[in-house]
Amino acid sequence: MSVLSEKVITRDWERPNQNTLAGYKANGGYKAAMKALELPPAAITDEVKKSQLRGRGGAGFPTGLKWSFVPSLEKNPKPRYLAINADESEPGTAKDRFILEKDPHLLLEGIAIACYALGAHTCYIYSRGEFKYPSAVLDKAIAEATADGIFGKKLLGRDFELNVYQVRGAGAYICGEETALLESLEGKKGWPRLKPPFPAVVGLFGCPTVVNNVETIASLPRIFEKGAEWFSKLGFGKSGGTRLVTVSGAVNRPGTYEVAMDTSLRELIYDAAYGQGLPEGRTVKACIPGGSSAPVLTGDELDVKLEFDAFKPLQSMAGSGGVMVMDDTACMVRCLWRVSRFYAEESCGQCTPCREGQPWMARILRKIEEGRGERGDLDTLLGVAAAVAPWPPIGLGTTICALGDAGALPVQSFVTKFREDFEQHIRLRRCPKGDKPWGVFGDFK
């Protein structure tokens, strides 16, 4: 079994006053940034490349490489921005909020390093509108760091101005998509932009902008404290470091855990340190491994590592680390219907396949679950899904942004892998689970 040899993100969460500047500094806080800022900006980016840090927002894109897409000042003299994605709304995902609540200065220290490397003098942290408490903790941390002179005219005493602001969203999943996030930061509704151009070239206010997830940036202080090589070695394959994952649903001990990259889904679900298995007699029927957009896996596909490349052969993805477990008494149709309803609700409406297709899929699923399904419905369902984004492989979407794919992939993977469950509903003209579709923990007590 894999062991977590060293904690990266959660290391200090239990320390007293860790979420205040005094508590953070008492434990060596902001020393890593001081060290990083001794390097020329380009060398910082090189270190990040060496560390094999990859984006924790969903796509696992190499962070140093993303930074290197920002054009040089000679080529593009416009200001550059860093935007932190703290919108955390992918169903199943609950990790960034804990960084904000328990260790906000870890993120802020990462921001200092990233902005210096990128030559960005302004950073906006776009946080989820519903995060009242995490946002309050973060606001206080920003105010403390600014009052202390860490941010402001002289970043950590250097001749470099950096201002950091939090902007709170207002309830729209789509604003987690990076270009919708930028639109929202510009004060507009969250309609994603067609890419290219990518934000690194044309981003916020038309300027070069890097968008990174909270956990990604919160990893930077450790990289500069202990070295890029240390971070890279801690990981597995081409995924440096550790990662935060949230296991939810039918396990005995749901929660958010920091795991080694080579931890398997099975370990996460069954290990004493993590999910602690399912109640006596129950088995895993289905598992969504990386937020609800990730294609579902069966109980036989759990021996896969949680690092970013391991899911490719299974045509799924490690995504945002949201692992949702369904036991053998849960109804697959009902689960998928709930997922589909989400994408129908959250489509921004710009592209026809997504705007029309997501609600259409949700309607067919409802019909099947309510016992009104007909022969042919499953083919229609798969046809609609394929028109939005054929699968496999992942990434063939026909729409402006990947929300299209995100809604189509669950449908195709559930119906393909659990087809008999769907057909049974149509044959029986009812849900075999009756009024208990949610499995072993489905009752409200």
Partner 1 sequence: MKQGASTNRPAMSDPLFTPDEQKHFDAGIAELLSHYPVDRKSAAMLPALRLLQTLKGWLPPEGLKLVASRLETTVERCYEVATFYVMFHTKKPGKYVIDVCTNLACALRGAEGMLAYLEQKLATKAGENGEKYFLRETECLASCGTAPCLQVNEDHHESLTKAKVDALLEKLA
DSSP-derived pairing of the beta strands 284-288 and 297-298: antiparallel
**Does 118 contact partner 1 by CB under 8 A?**
no
Closer residue to partner 1, CB minimum distance, 113 or 324: 324
Q: Which residues are registered as beta bridge partners of 249? A: 325
Q: How far is the CB of 89 from ligand SF4 (least distance, A)?
A: 13
> Which residue is at the shortest CB distance from ligand SF4?
354
Residue 404 CB, shortest distance to ligand SF4, in Å, is 4
Q: Residue 402 CB: number of other CB atoms within 10 A?
A: 18
Residues 293/319, Cβ–Cβ less than 8 Å: yes
The nearer residue to ligand FMN, 251 or 402, going by C-beta atoms, is 402
Calpha distance 242→110 (Å, rounded): 16
- For residue 375, the partner it binds in ligand SF4, ligand FMN, partner 1, none, with Cβ less than 5 to 8 A by kind, is none
**400 is an interface residue for ligand SF4 by CB under 6 A:** yes
Query: Judged by CB under 8 A, does residue 90 bind partner 1?
Result: yes
Q: Which helix (H) or strand (E) holds 34?
A: helix 31-36
- Nearest CB to ligand FMN, comparing residues 48 and 378: 48
Which residues, numbered 345-374, are part of the site for ligand SF4 (CB under 6 A)? 347-351, 354-355
Query: Which H helix or E strand runs over 46?
Result: helix 41-51
Q: Which does 189 bind (CB under 5 to 8 A by kind): partner 1, ligand SF4, ligand FMN, none?
A: partner 1
**Partner from ligand SF4, partner 1, ligand FMN, none contacting 49, C-beta within 5 to 8 A by type:** none
- The CB-of-163 to partner 1 minimum distance in angstroms stands at 8
C-alpha 156/C-alpha 158 separation (Å) is: 6
Using CB under 6 A, which residues numbered 185 to 204 contact ligand SF4? 192
> What string of DSSP letters covers 64-121?
HHHHHTSPPTTT--S-EEEEEEE---STT--SHHHHHHH-HHHHHHHHHHHHHHHTEE
152 binds partner 1 (CB under 8 A): no
In the complex, minimum distance from the CB of residue 174 to ligand SF4, in angstroms, rounded to a whole number: 5
Give the C-alpha separation, 391 to 375, whole Å.
23
Per the listing, tokens 């099947």 go with: 368
Indicate the residue among 77 and 157 with the shorter CB distance to partner 1: 77
Which lies closer to ligand SF4 via its Cβ, residue 160 or residue 191?
Answer: 191
